Amino acid sequence: MERTYLEDACIVSVYDYQEFEKLFIGDFLSGVVIDDETFRFRPFEQIVTSKIVSKSADGDKLEINTHSGSCYVIDADHKLIDISFVELVVMRAGAYSAHRVLEMREQLKFRNKSH
């Protein structure tokens, strides 16, 4: 199977809120492409995958398979981040990293406090 290799990768747990209840939507992968055997992505492109369906460790690497049938390889030492569904939409629309979305969240909190 052809793989896409990512750096600065995060597994992003996405939640939505309905009637004051926090609902888990799924885990997604975010990262920067360093090598792509599928030829779908450019080097250094920021991507967000479809929903993760399986993970398997291979030494210091983690192989991740997604709902769309793609396979990604990341460092086993990766970050885990919780975001909202709206933030996932922003990540995909603007090709933002998970870290950038968290920065935007904090900026919005600060602006709301100062008004």
User: For 25-70, what is each residue's pLDDT tens digit?
Assistant: 999 999 999 999 999 999 999 999 999 999 999 999 999 999 999 9
Q: Are 35 and 43 in contact (CB under 8 A)?
A: yes
45 and 31 in contact (C-beta within 8 Å)? no
* Structure tokens belonging to residue 111: 């602006």
Residue 115 confidence (pLDDT) above 70? no
Helix (H, G, I), strand (E, B) or coil at 45: coil
Tell me if 53 sits within 8 A of 27, measured CB to CB: no
Q: Where are the domains of the chain?
A: 4-114
pLDDT tens per residue, range 4-35: 999 999 999 999 988 889 999 999 999 999 99
pLDDT of residue 53: 99
